[in-house]
Amino acid sequence: MVELIKKKREGKSLDKEEISYIVKGFVSGEIPDYQISAFMMAVCFQGMDSDETATLTDEMMRSGDLIDLSEIPGIKVDKHSTGGVGDKTTLILAPLVAAAGIPVAKMSGRGLGHTGGTLDKMESIKGLSVDMGGEEFIDKVKRYNIAICGQNKSLVPADKKLYALRDVTGTVDNISLIASSIMSKKLACGADAIVIDIKVGDGAYMKTVGQAEELAKVLISIGAKMNRKVRAVITAMHEPLGMTIGNALEVKEAIDTLQGKGPTDLTELCYELGSHMLVLAQVAKNKNEARKTLEQLIESGAAFDKFKELVRIQKGDISVIENTDLLPKTEYSREYKSKKDGYINQLNALDIGLASVKLGAGRETKASQIDFGAGIVLKKKIGDFVKKGETLAILYANDSSFFDKAIEFMDDAYEIAAEKAKEKPLIIKTII
């Protein structure tokens, strides 16, 4: 292992056998954390070429169980987001795409830090379970075209161990390590094609479009080497997506969107990503045809019916979906008001996400307990004109002492000026 660390430190490429030795040795415990840490730091300084990155992905993917979806008819298309604030697209896209006749076998994650997790949002629905074995997961997708569950403990153990180490050694933001982490999980879950929503901006891991494009090209390259089709859509995360941040609040907004009453940006993003999924699944010839199909599924109520079916088959309480007033609520709320007249030119997604964590909606550590009812409802967004004293957002918490901590981040999030700033696009670029 010392020789391999030196080899990568000197900028040389590692072959398949060498990468396989590293991954298997780390998972088995034969190679200690400190040597893997040194190796990943060498990768951060020297990088990996496309063959090395594809090999690392393949070895990580094969480090545990693989889910075989081949018995499910049709092209299985998955969607992944690199994480953002207010991103509840999976709750909308999964039933919407499944209603179009495409099998959606989705394994999702939990939130950590300022980004929310799909599983946490789903568990704010009373009774709903995201835990299931591989056979039950596949059976649900075969029977109902949809299932959303948590990652199996035996699935891609190399990624779990590597990510935990990357998080504490300052090696999270290397493109090859990010790409192999994303793709190893997606490929282990049996997807034939993948649409990846790469968030860029203040509230995302990718801070520039250039970084996002580089990641997109690496993800597509890995997919090509493994005979999978990958499309990357680079989207803005300079402000939160939609109007809600927090688990139950986001579930309600997802339901509104499935009923055709969602905010414009969230609705538009779901149509964009969903259209690519329909084209990759070969149920639509092009994006225009795909979009019309998706719009019809929302207008007819079929998408919302599929969401209710998803909740039912995963043991959730349907009455909560039919009457969202039954979703978890908080004891306290506080209005956050504008300190002056002007246009909102900045609504920093990272600060808003951190404010929601302080209210109890997110985790500061893996052991943190989430308050499903806590969060933020935005009343104004970038480009809106506001008057002094007008409500910008409503904060929700079950401990009134949390408001002061959250408001510090809210103060940092907003920039209000006399002149209106130039509008930024939501969909920045698609890379195929």
Domain architecture of the chain: domains with CATH: 2-47 (1.20.970.10), 77-322 (3.40.1030.10), 330-417 (3.90.1170.30)
The active-site residue out of 185, 186, 238, 252 is 185
- Residue 366's pLDDT is 61
Is 80 marked active-site? Answer: yes
Q: How many CB atoms lie within 10 A of CB 253?
A: 26
- Residue 304's pLDDT is 98
- Residue 155's pLDDT is 83
Per-residue pLDDT of 296-336, as tens digits, reads: 999 999 999 999 999 999 999 999 999 999 999 999 999 99
Contact 251, 124 (CB under 8 A): yes
- Residue 35's pLDDT is 97
The active-site residue out of 76, 80, 114, 358 is 80
Q: Nearest CA to 220 among 39, 50, 16?
A: 50
Ranges of the chain whose pLDDT falls below 50: none
The active-site residue out of 88, 106, 114, 166 is 166
The active-site residue out of 63, 181, 184, 338 is 181
For residue 29, the one-letter residue type is G
Per-residue pLDDT of 351-410, as tens digits, reads: 999 999 999 998 776 667 889 999 999 999 999 999 999 999 999 999 999 999 999 999
The active-site residue out of 159, 256, 265, 371 is 159
Is 238 marked active-site? Answer: no
Is 166 marked active-site? Answer: yes
pTM: 0.91
